[in-house]
């Protein structure tokens, strides 16, 4: 079934100079409203639209005290504040912790997450901060599930404790390619990810972070699974694709974590 909001998100583009005032061509015209809804694949011939999307944020910290005690206190606070979250132990830092949170309302990170994490004993490592949003490619058969449910189910799955999170940015040359060529490049990338997911080796979360990232990254990727090696292997396999080998400007930093606490 399609999910069409009562009031599609849109905004009118600014009028061109002189439009509607007898200047320029003499007759102004109104631009079509912007449609910011997500689109999925048609279902029974009907298009899918959704004006909702999930935001996810990863914050990485250095812990001054006992990390185990911090996890216990922090987890209790997040639960008391009704903040759905995952706490990771940083595999590459024996005193490192990371907190993953999510919400459809980005104000949630300021109103509820921020007070829980502004505590003594935690020092933010801003180079690892990731904030991004779910997005559609236009081919999702169940748009609502892909946008709102699948990322949460993936990070909360008790059988998948390992995670690799990283941002990336493609080169400007990729954006100048014809849509057909872009599609072929993305299909090559997607086919590899689908094979790992079907084999239950690595499950991906792909998010967009245009304008949400201090370093101008475009996307955030989460690789989730029950073992760490397959997550590393999928990154290795992706290096051979045309997108990564020819059109990737930057990837990382990579955060490698193991779940120590969940609140779903």
> 172-205, pLDDT tens digit by residue?
888 888 888 888 888 887 888 889 999 999 999 9
Same domain for 250 and 149, yes or no, is yes
Which of 87, 102, 131 is at the close of a domain?
131
Taking the C-alpha atoms of residue 87 and residue 27, their distance in angstroms, rounded to an integer, is 59
Domain boundary among 96, 131, 166: 131
Rg, the chain, Cα only:
21
Give the whole-angstrom CA distance, residue 134 versus residue 115: 24
**180 and 119 within one domain:** no
Residues 149 and 73 occupy one common structural domain: no
* 45 belongs to a structural domain: no
| Angstrom distance (rounded) from CA 151 to CA 222 | 9
Q: Is residue 124 part of a domain?
A: yes
Last residue of a domain, one of 106, 131, 156: 131
pLDDT tens readout for residues 232-254 = 999 999 888 888 888 888 899 99
**Cβ atoms 143, 39 nearer than 8 A:** yes
Q: Encode 156-188: b = buried (16+ Cβ within 10 Å), e = exposed.
A: bbeebbbbbbbbbbbeeebeeeeeeebeebeee
pLDDT band at 28 (very low <50, low <70, confident <90, very high): low
Check residue 6 and give its pLDDT.
36
The per-residue pLDDT for 123 is 97
Q: Which two tokens stand for residue 128?
A: 């690892």
**What is the number of domains present in the chain?**
2
User: Does residue 22 register a pLDDT over 60?
Assistant: no
């Amino acid at each position: 079934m399609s999910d069409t909001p009562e009031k599609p998100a849109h905004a009118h583009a600014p009028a061109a100079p002189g439009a509607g005032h007898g200047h320029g061509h003499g007759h102004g015209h109104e631009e079509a409203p912007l449609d910011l809804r997500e689109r999925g694949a048609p279902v029974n011939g009907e298009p899918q639209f959704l004006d909702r999307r999930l935001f996810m944020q990863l914050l990485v910290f250095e812990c001054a005290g006992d990390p185990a005690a911090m996890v216990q206190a922090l987890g209790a606070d997040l639960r008391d504040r009704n903040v759905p979250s995952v706490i990771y132990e940083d595999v590459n830092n024996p005193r490192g912790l990371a907190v993953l949170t999510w919400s459809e309302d980005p104000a949630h990170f300021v109103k509820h997450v921020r007070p829980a994490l502004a505590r003594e004993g935690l020092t933010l490592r801003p180079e690892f901060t990731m904030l991004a949003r779910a997005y559609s490619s236009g081919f999702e058969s169940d748009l609502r599930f892909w946008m709102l449910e699948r990322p949460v189910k993936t990070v909360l799955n008790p059988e998948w404790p390992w995670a690799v999170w990283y941002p990336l940015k493609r080169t400007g040359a990729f954006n100048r390619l014809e849509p057909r060529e872009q599609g072929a490049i993305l299909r090559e990338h997607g086919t590899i990810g689908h094979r790992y997911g079907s084999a239950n080796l690595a499950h991906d979360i792909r998010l967009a972070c245009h304008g949400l990232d201090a370093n101008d990254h475009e996307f955030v990727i989460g690789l989730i699974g029950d073992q760490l090696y397959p997550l590393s292997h999928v990154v290795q396999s992706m290096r051979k694709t045309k997108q990564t080998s020819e059109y990737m400007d930057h990837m990382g930093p990579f955060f490698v974590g193991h779940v120590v606490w969940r609140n779903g």
